[in-house]
Amino acid sequence: MEGIKIATIGGGSSYTPELVDGFLKRYETLPVRELWLVDVPEGEEKMNIVAALARRMVERAGVPMEIHTTLNRREALAGADFVTTQLRVGQLAARIKDERIPLKHGILGQETNGAGGLFKGLRTIPVIMEICRDMEELCPDAWLINFTNPVGMVTEAVHRYTNFRKIIGLCNVPIGMHRAIADKLGRPMEDVQVTFGGLNHMVFATKVMVDGEDVTGRILEDWGSQSVMNITGIAWNPEFVKELGILPCSYHRYYYMTKEYLAEELEQYGKHELRAELVKGVEEELFRLYQDSSLCEKPKLLEKRGGAYYSDAACNLINSLYNDLGDVQVVNTVNNGAIDNFEKDEIVEVSCVITRSGPKPVRVGRLPKAVNGLVQQIKSFEVAGSAAAVTGDRRKALLALMINPLVMSQKTAEAVLEELLEAHKEYLPQFFQKQ
């Protein structure tokens, strides 16, 4: 067996040890012989630090996996079987601007939602599309597993504006929800079947089954304060969740509890304790740990980075594609009639049967009327944001901001648009080359 070649774009990410750990644990069924880490010159130092740790992890595991590093993306993509993307255009400095500038104008600043989410998409989509074009030439049979946020908007843009069809968007939120549901039921995850449907960072658990019995109602009454690392867990009103009829994800809090989270973030803004600023500190400490030549496993501190279950999500998906397992996983892919609220060719986050030929969406049906308006608004935001990223048209970017329910003001949208465009000018040439 020749083994598998995987190229990871954004290889200098602090998440990479999670990915390496996941591949090592699955080596018997997923023999990764070459892992290529790719980054830009600004990330070269971090990439080399991560690669050294990865080689120590491989040596400890005693498997014949080669770790390569390069700044030449095409070298890494040539002949790859799978490509993963975990890049951040502008690095954490850009994320800090995405969070602070909207808050300066009195609206939520968040990495993947609202104005911050739009601008991460505007910077990211052109880069991902370039990678897709390279893959069509250099590794046309490879799957692209995209973990780069905003996953839904990125996947939507690739589907709408390229002919590339082997992209799957991935998020760890459904895995976290599945674990939380299983914990509440006192059962292992494999005993609990959860059906998911919606959009990225706006996904719902629509049905929970155990031993052939529908137990969704039990969880609706006790969803409580379940959340992810980067969102404080204000408890859900159980009467609201029960009446909604499906389980919201952590990110729904920004839309159903906007006032509370805006107040919280404004307080953090004044203290320079926003999530992006805290992550910057965690990353600095992680890379100090990674440089310890005696470290040969992912450190416990990595859990505070917010990428819990990343390796499970990414490695399980690649393993199932490679081995044609036909198991059910939650991914971002073409709706194809799975969720009645969306067009057939729109991108959704949904439970899918994973086969060698790709994900096959599980039929979810229609999401409740109570959530239809919100999910339609966010889908139109993703579509408008995709168009803005591809065209560099400021009117389309303004449209996206005006559509988003977290923006709430025309004057605010105009001011935030101009300030964020100027702040990220280096990474948004499409908006400036026509002027």
Task: Match 């036909």 to its residue by tokens.
Answer: 326
Terminal Cα-to-Cα distance of the chain (whole angstroms)? 54
The three-point CA angle 234-121-34 to 5° equals 100
Q: Which residues pair with 247 in a beta bridge?
A: 205
Mapping DSSP to helix (H, G, I), strand (E, B) and coil, where does residue 165 land? Answer: coil
What whole-number distance in Å separates Cα of residue 56 and Cα of residue 282?
Answer: 22
Residue ranges with strand state E in 342-383: 347-355, 358-361
332 close to 349: Cβ distance less than 8 angstroms: yes
Of the residues 15, 251, 290, 310, which is catalytic? 251
Distances (CA, A) of 57 to 25, 29, 70, 290, 306: 11, 18, 19, 11, 21
What whole-number distance in Å separates Cα of residue 206 and Cα of residue 197?
Answer: 7
The tokens of 336 are what? 């194809």
38 close to 73: Cβ distance less than 8 angstroms: yes
β-strands 202-210, 247-248 pairing: antiparallel
**CA 240 from centroid of its chain's CA atoms:** 27
Helical pair 16-25 and 44-61, crossing angle rounded to 10 deg: 20
Q: Is 256 a catalytic residue?
A: no
329 close to 316: Cβ distance less than 8 angstroms: yes
β-strands 167-169, 192-199 pairing: unpaired
The three-point CA angle 173-131-428 to 5° equals 85
116 close to 99: Cβ distance less than 8 angstroms: yes
Q: Which amino acid, 127?
A: V
- Residue among 194, 198, 152, 200 nearest 173 (CA): 200
Q: Which residues participate in catalysis according to the annotation?
A: 251
